[in-house]
Structure 1
Amino acid sequence: MVQVPPAGQLTTSVAQGVVDQAHRTASVNLPISAVHVVLDPGYTYGSGFSLLQFAVRMGIVLGGFAMIFGPIGAVLARRVGARIPAIAALLIMGVDGAAYALVSYSWVTFAVLNAIFGIGVGLFYSASTILLVDAVPQEQQGIGAGMFGVVQSIGAALILAISTAVLNGSPVKAHIDVMGRTITQTVPQIFADRGYAISFWIAAGASVLGMAIAILMRHGRQPTTSGAAALLGGDVPAATAGSASRPDATGDSPS
């Protein structure tokens, strides 16, 4: 969606391209009013943002909310277990993905949805990291973190590949009429709203599937020990994990 011109600007650009080509190839000064361009199907998401404008208006909103809600997810994990923040995060991302697919585009609307998605991202990354630390023994933390990163990369690559295939199957075509003669061309790198909607539904479905798995999982139901169980070789309640190594009132460590 970045750097995509509005539909009206695109039709004007296509018409001007036809006029320029007629002048170059046949030395014909064709008036632009003689060229009629109809997009099939049309699209509504064009904003013409540069990468910097997109980052300022939308990307920074997502990142900012993720940074805020990451620590909040960690606090929740210490109180109710990491499973609850994980479920909440996946629910938020699933609902948000459906909203992306259903609402009409405006950059303000999508900025709000990005903020909501950032809440889900912050909760998810804190909860998933805590679940990993609590589940994996201390001596295998590096291996677990590496496998976690690989699985995340595979999932992101899979979603990207599926979305790219869906978008390529939903191109925007320009029907160009010049003085009664019509030709049809596919507009490169411009995709119909339907392609993006299907991609958002796929992402929402993946989030719902992850939420179902999180609901069924047994791990993460207790308040996190922040790795204390792995250090001490057993399950340690959150309230006592921090005091397990503190000296008693006499200054002697507990035996």
Structure 2
Amino acid sequence: MPTSLPSRARRTGHRATFAVLAAAVAAFALLQSLVTPVLATIQHDLDTDQATVTWVLTAYLLSASIFTPIVGRIGDAVGKERMLLATLVALGAGSLLAALATDVRVLILARVVQGIGGGVLPLAFGIVRDEFPREKVAGAVGVLAALTAVGGGLGIVLAGPIVDALDYHWLFWIPLAIVVLAAIATYALVPPSPVRTPGRISVLPAALLSAWLVCLLLALSEGPAWGWASARVLGLLVAAVVLAAGWVAAEQRSAAPLIDLQMMRLPAVWTTNLVALLVGVGMYATFGFLPQFLQTPEEAGYGFGSSVTESGLILLPWSATMFAVGLASGRLVAGYGAKAVVLAGTTVAVVPFLLMAFAHGAVWQLCLATAVLGVGFGLAFSAMSSLIVDAVPSEQTGVASGMNANIRTIGGSIGAAVMSSIVTANATPEGLPTEAGYTWGFAALAGAGVAAALAALLIPRVRQTAHSDEPEHPELALVAAGTVVGDKSE
């Protein structure tokens, strides 16, 4: 059963707490994307091949997908501020190891350690709900959610200038400095969690969750390279299905489930997670392939021959508009409701994908597309996080928001894999993808945006007027009381 700690004097106000959380989320978001535009540089400097250097991204993705829900659940049990500090220490250790790495295998290991930092997101959302005045929760959650994508966009923008002025090692030294400051500030300023859910963490569900996520994301990440019909990919997909079924069974039998499956079946939760999956498809695919399109030599008949720095700057409008929308998200959610904001965001996001598909002959067209995309995703991200926070009791905020972020990452893997398959299906005589490949690829992302808007229509309306432990839906009374599926404690 959840417990509330005795009230105590706060060490700081919620504004200082928010500044700490924003720094932690920004550092994690930067590390998500800083290496994406410079993989070729890392491949050359570490004398490795393309297949191996791809694991610098894949290992991080896999690790974050595994640790995000686990860290969120542990934070709900032992205290969110304690786990936030532990997560920042792990993120810093991984960044230090990556900055010092002179071998690609060491760098891949460092990225696995950095992936533990994925727990920053659910912990930050949970701390906001615990500590902030009720009327401030939606706005704070919206800004933090927007920062995850803003940081990703800024990472691509900043990577080129950092590597040009220094070298790729500084892609890890700079975030390390932010992480160290955030860890010190967390220890000094973030108050103890007033709400906890005691109980041990079940090992078997955690192991099964890790196993099926590894199999699924490995198959999706390597499908374009290994072949979708290859024995390895098919075997991994079958293993993912079998292990996922075992995980569901283990969670239902567990006295202390890692993820409350009844909570995940709540209408506001599963519909929001479906939208997150489809939004992730578009966001990560754009991060990965728009810079490649821009860097294609003009001799191919399309592209602009942009440098890493120039292609990053074309994504700058994305970060600017997304952050601006994140700042306004609290008022928008309060005024129109989170469902309306998610629906507006996913609808707006369809337009820039169509622009990228059919109107990409000038740089200004792509700058306009990325600016509009930032508006759409900014609206969707902020309101989705608010929906999750409102839909579940406070003691389950960490694991619920962690799974939402995790599902978005899985959507990103699907989007990157599908986009890769479409773009690389045909090649020019020079070995470059054809323009038609990019056209159909971005059109497919527009289709994912339409699907996300349709999914947003399924989200039930949730009142945004309060953020208390009282659930807004009758079925949440069972969750709040601890009578969840698989709870054998009675």
Distance in 2, matches of 1:201 and 1:59, equals: 19
Cα RMSD between the aligned structures?
1.7
**For 1:74-113, what aligned pairs fall within 5 Å after superposition?**
74-113=330-369
1:142 aligns with 2:379: no
Distance in 1, matches of 2:340 and 2:329, equals: 9
Deviation at 1:96, TM superposition (A): 1.7
2:409 aligned counterpart, secondary structure: helix
Q: Is the 8 A contact 1:62 1:118 kept in 2?
A: yes
Deviation at 1:78, TM superposition (A): 0.7
> Identity over aligned residues, as a percent?
24
**Of the candidates 447, 452, 461, which is equivalent to residue 205 of structure 1?**
447
**Of the candidates 164, 169, 173, which is equivalent to residue 425 of structure 2?**
169
1:128 aligned counterpart, secondary structure: helix
Aligned partner letter, 1:233: E
**For 1:23-172, what aligned pairs fall within 5 Å after superposition?**
43-44=301-302, 46-56=303-313, 58-172=314-428
Q: Is the 8 A contact 1:71 1:126 kept in 2?
A: no
Q: Would you tell me which structure has more strand in proportion to its own residues?
A: 1
Deviation at 1:121, TM superposition (A): 1.5
Moved over 6 A (4+): none
Distance in 1, matches of 2:394 and 2:454, equals: 28
Distance in 1, matches of 2:425 and 2:393, equals: 46
Q: Would you tell me which structure has more helix in proportion to its own residues?
A: 2
Q: Is the 8 A contact 2:343 2:453 kept in 1?
A: yes
1:216 aligned counterpart, secondary structure: coil
Q: Is the 8 A contact 1:91 1:211 kept in 2?
A: yes
Q: Is the 8 A contact 1:96 1:113 kept in 2?
A: yes
Q: Is the 8 A contact 2:394 2:469 kept in 1?
A: no
Q: Is the 8 A contact 2:393 2:471 kept in 1?
A: no
Deviation at 1:217, TM superposition (A): 2.0
Distance in 1, matches of 2:453 and 2:440, equals: 20
Distance in 1, matches of 2:458 and 2:447, equals: 17
Between 107-116 and 69-78, report the one with greater CA deviation.
69-78
Deviation at 1:82, TM superposition (A): 0.5
Deviation at 1:159, TM superposition (A): 0.6
Please list the CA deviations of residues 81-132 of structure 1 after superposition, one character each: whole Å capped at 9, or x if unmatched: 1011111110111122122111142111100111111111211111111111
Distance in 1, matches of 2:340 and 2:391, equals: 16
Count of aligned pairs between the two proteins? 181
Deviation at 1:65, TM superposition (A): 0.6
Aligned partner letter, 1:70: G
Distance in 1, matches of 2:349 and 2:423, equals: 21
**TM score, norm. by length of structure 1:** 0.67
Distance in 2, matches of 1:91 and 1:234, equals: 29
Distance in 1, matches of 2:310 and 2:351, equals: 26
2:428 aligned counterpart, secondary structure: strand
Who is 1:233 aligned against?
470
1:233 aligned counterpart, secondary structure: coil
The structure with more radius of gyration? 1
Q: Is the 8 A contact 2:322 2:374 kept in 1?
A: yes
Shift in CA distance, 234/147, structure 1 to aligned 2, threshold 3 Å: closer
Aligned partner letter, 1:169: A
Q: Is the 8 A contact 1:90 1:211 kept in 2?
A: yes
Who is 2:295 aligned against?
3
Distance in 1, matches of 2:360 and 2:334, equals: 39
Who is 1:191 aligned against?
433
**For 1:13-28, what aligned pairs fall within 5 Å after superposition?**
none
Q: Which runs of 5+ in 1 are unaligned?
A: 8-41, 174-186, 237-255
Q: Is the 8 A contact 2:355 2:366 kept in 1?
A: no
Deviation at 1:60, TM superposition (A): 1.3
Please list the CA deviations of residues 177-208 of structure 1 after superposition, one character each: whole Å capped at 9, or x if unmatched: xxxxxxxxxx23x2111111111111111111
Distance in 2, matches of 1:136 and 1:43, equals: 52
Deviation at 1:3, TM superposition (A): 2.5
